[in-house]
Amino acid sequence: MAGPSVLRFGGQRTKAAPQGARQHNRFFYMLLAMPGIIWLTVLFIVPFYDVLAIAGGRLDFLTGSPVAVYNPLNWSHANLVQTWNGIFGATAFQLPIIWRTIWYTAVASGLCLLIGYPAAYFVARFAGRRKALFLVLLIAPFWISYMMRMLAWIGLLQTNGYLNKFLGAIGLPNDINWLGGHWYTVVLGLVYGYIPYIILVLYAGLDRIDGSLLEAGRDLGLSRAETFLKVTLPLSRQPILTGMLITVLPMLGDYYTNQLLSGTPRTAMIGNVIQTQLGTNGFQGQGAVLSLLVLAVLVIPMVYYVRATSRAAREAS
Amino acid sequence: MTTAATTQQAAATEAARAARPGPRWPKRNPWRHPWFLESFTWLYLIWSLLPIGLAILFSFNSGKSQAVWQGFSWRWYLTDPVLSVAHSNVLQLAVLQTLKLSAYTTLIAVPLGVLFALGIHRWRTRTGATFNFVMLLSFVIPELIFGVAMFFVFTSLFSGISLGTLAETLALVTWNVSWPAIIVQARLATIGNSYSEAAADLGCNPFQTMYRVWLPLLSPAILASAILVFSTVIDDFVIVDLLSNSAANTPMSVYIYATQRGGNGGPALNALGTIMLIMSFVIAILGYIGYRLMTRGERGTSTDALATIAGS
């Protein structure tokens, strides 16, 4: 079956290659992919089944820790009911948190886009010979740890920090307690934390737009603003959508920005609830249910994102 | 005399302009520099980078404040006998743990992801496509949700692996394996199949093709993904926060968060953050230089290389 090795695969001659050789090659490539496949199965797919098993599991009343139940036929709905009561029940406190999460995330990612788009647009289109410099400065925050960037604002926003000093210097009230649990501080932190990611996506997308399309628009008599509205903006629809997702998805699981810049339940988001339940005996099962609910809501945008980026990758090649 | 003439002339042009049909505004140079956009971009850059600069500055503060400047000193790096990075055991453990996790994760995730990409690229079956999709899902899933799954699996199903360095490494590998897998697949797509087909025609078996053709052609992509994995792990917070349980397995990001949250923040944390920043920048610069050297002779500019190193 082996035949001369020349015939084994590739090129024109593949068509004549014996069936066994092609099978052999397929086996080789399957073998290459196998470690990754096994890893993803054991450490990605199985863990999510485990979350289901915890969510449908029982509570060990002695230790207060959750007991996973792996047979779906034996799953109990106790955790689901408790979570439901936590959201919609008579003593519910989570519904306002969910609304707040949506509201914060919408405002913060909208601001990310409003600030990020013009900057990315300028660097992609007009930076000219200084493009490398601008790009380095745009990318720099991407390499700086999130904690360091939060520390920076913790220093600036303290009551005796530079922001209040600056406000005082221009004659505004200078005794604002920025870190005392305000929604605008949390939104500022979210924007500051996630804007580098959306800017990179927007820059890559805008940089890919063929300049001759814009010239054609201008040659046909469109003004600068019209060219932007009729050519650039429609062509950047995809980067805008993926960029928004790349900021929205992590914001929905963010608990640390809130903890560092506010630290009060008044500004708590859904991430804070999950993280607290995870660390509280007796509530871990509900934490599992809540994370699965968040995941269920996000599955559609996630799949959309995956499809959009792999389509873009195929078109680029 | 001349002034009168110019005024007259100006008035005439004004009149002509007013008489001419068309846009009411004087026609401006259509290729003028967008000063407004440029100033906006500079304002954004100042807003994004100045706070970091100040945070670095405060790591050299001689007092205990992160907000009020009290003079320059090396106190928080070297000289303070208890609280400085040079003398505090806990801080050193945090630095060490970050480096350990970055190294382990890079060493495991990069080969795993590269092989996965090479395999999936040619093993075009439904199973292959499905697992490629699973890999991409692991790339976009919110980190908290992934971390919750990891927390549960290491406290229930795989409870033999307790929380700590091993659990952190396993989780970080899963979280980061998509970098090499995605970047290498993109590079494979741009390279095309002609090289491997030529190699096969010249008598290479698949293993030789991989070793002699694919790996050399892929080396820039492999380098770029290694840099991304290493620096992502340096900055990673959520996964390690959920999976660490003692000072010995707490990396810098978690230490900074926990201490600041506990109300014990101070310039020592800024010093730790500055060390993280320097690590990331050194990795990024070395990676950029290496990437440029490896892609010498290819079409492409410094800006393309920068974008690749940053993962886009």
For B116-134, write each residue's pLDDT tens digit. 999 998 888 899 899 999 9
Q: What is the pLDDT of residue A277?
A: 92
Interface list for A 236-265 with B (CB within 8 A): 245, 249-250, 252-256, 259-260, 263
Q: Do A309 and B199 touch (CB under 8 A)?
A: no
> What would the mean pLDDT of A126-141 be, rounded to a whole number?
89
Q: Residues A145, A172: one domain?
A: yes
Residues of A in contact with B237 (CB under 8 A): 145-147, 256
Q: Give the domain CATH number at A235.
A: 1.10.3720.10
Q: Residues A272, A253: one domain?
A: yes
Residues of B in contact with A135 (CB under 8 A): 303, 306-307
Nearest-by-CA chain A residue for B30: A224
Does A297 reside within a domain? no
What pLDDT band is residue B229 in, cutting at 50, 70 and 90? very high
Interface list for A 185-244 with B (CB within 8 A): 192, 195-196, 200-201, 203-204, 207, 218, 223-224
Does A213 reside within a domain? yes
Higher pLDDT, A273 or B210: A273
Out of B140, B181, B207, name the one closest to residue A36 (CB).
Answer: B181
Using the Cβ of A9 and the Cβ atoms of chain B, whether some distance falls under 8 Å is answered with yes
Q: Do B152 and A123 touch (CB under 8 A)?
A: no
Kindly provide the b/e burial profile for residues A223-259, where b requires at least 16 CB atoms within 10 angstroms of the residue's own CB. eeeebbeebbeebbebbbbbbbbbbbbbbbbbbbbbb
Does A2 reside within a domain? no
Out of A59, A85, A111, pick the residue that ends a domain.
A85
Q: Are strands A66-67 and A58-59 parallel, antiparallel or unpaired?
A: antiparallel
Q: Residues A114, A260: one domain?
A: yes
| The three-state (H, E, C) secondary structure of chain A, written as one string | CCCCHHHCCCCHHHHHCCHHHHHHHHHHHHHHHHHHHHHHHHHHHHHHHHHHHHHCCEECCCCCCEECCCCHHHCCCHHHHHHHHHHHCCCCCHHHHHHHHHHHHHHHHHHHHHHHHHHHHHHHHHCHHHHHHHHHHHHHHHHCCHHHHHHHHHHHHCCCCHHHHHHHHCCCCCCCCCCCCCHHHHHHHHHHHHHHHHHHHHHHHHHHCCHHHHHHHHHCCCCHHHHHHHHHHHHCHHHHHHHHHHHHHHHHCCCHHHHHHCCCHHHCCHHHHHHHHHCCCCCHHHHHHHHHHHHHHHHHHHHHHHHHHHHHHHHHC
Q: Do A154 and B66 touch (CB under 8 A)?
A: yes
Query: What is the tally of structural domains in chain A?
Result: 2
Q: What is the pLDDT of residue A77?
A: 87
Judge whether residue B1 has pLDDT over 50. no
Q: What is the pLDDT of residue B207?
A: 84
What pLDDT band is residue B28 in, cutting at 50, 70 and 90? low
> What would the mean pLDDT of B171-191 be, rounded to a whole number?
92
Give tens-digit pLDDT for A224-251.
888 889 889 999 998 999 999 999 999 9
Using the Cβ of A149 and the Cβ atoms of chain B, whether some distance falls under 8 Å is answered with yes
Using the Cβ of A46 and the Cβ atoms of chain B, whether some distance falls under 8 Å is answered with yes
Query: How far apart, in Å, do the first and last CA atoms of chain B sit?
Result: 63
Q: Do B311 and A200 touch (CB under 8 A)?
A: yes
Q: Do A192 and B48 touch (CB under 8 A)?
A: yes
Residues of A in contact with B57 (CB under 8 A): none
Q: Residues A113, A256: one domain?
A: yes
Using the Cβ of A55 and the Cβ atoms of chain B, whether some distance falls under 8 Å is answered with no
Least confident of A21-35, A131-145, B43-57, B294-308: B294-308
Model's pTM, two decimal places?
Answer: 0.88
> What would the mean pLDDT of B137-152 be, rounded to a whole number?
94
Nearest-by-CA chain B residue for A202: B312
Q: Residues A138, A180: one domain?
A: yes
Does A307 reside within a domain? no
Q: Residues A105, A132: one domain?
A: yes
Judge whether residue A88 has pLDDT over 90. no
What pLDDT band is residue B13 in, cutting at 50, 70 and 90? low
Q: Residues A29, A159: one domain?
A: no
Q: Do B312 and A298 touch (CB under 8 A)?
A: no
Domain boundaries, chain B: 32-73, 89-309
Does A300 reside within a domain? no
Share of chain A above pLDDT 70, in %: 91
Q: Residues A64, A25: one domain?
A: yes
Domain of residue A158 covers 95-278
Mean residue pLDDT of chain A comes to 87
Higher pLDDT, B206 or A235: A235
Does A252 reside within a domain? yes
Task: Identify the residue among B148, B202, B234, B235 best suited for mutation to test binding to A, counting A beta carbons within 10 A and taking the highest.
Answer: B148
Q: Residues A107, A252: one domain?
A: yes
Nearest-by-CA chain B residue for A221: B30
Q: What is the pLDDT of residue B263?
A: 83
Q: What is the pLDDT of residue A7?
A: 36
Q: Residues A244, A136: one domain?
A: yes
Does A151 reside within a domain? yes
Does A232 reside within a domain? yes
Out of A38, A62, A85, pick the residue that ends a domain.
A85
Q: Do B186 and A313 touch (CB under 8 A)?
A: yes
Fold of B89-309: MetI-like fold (1.10.3720)
Out of A25, A68, A223, name the one closest to residue B206 (CB).
Answer: A25
> What would the mean pLDDT of A193-211 be, rounded to a whole number?
92
Q: Residues A22, A56: one domain?
A: yes
Q: Which residue has the tokens 């003028």?
A: B32
Give tens-digit pLDDT for A154-188.
999 998 889 988 998 988 888 888 998 899 999 99
Nearest-by-CA chain A residue for B305: A132
Q: Residues A175, A234: one domain?
A: yes
Q: Do B206 and A313 touch (CB under 8 A)?
A: no
Tell me the C-alpha distance between A193 and A190, whole Å.
5
Residues of B in contact with A34 (CB under 8 A): 119
**Closest chain A C-alpha to B250 CA, distance in angstroms:** 14
Q: What is the pLDDT of residue A65?
A: 84
ipTM for the whole complex:
0.88
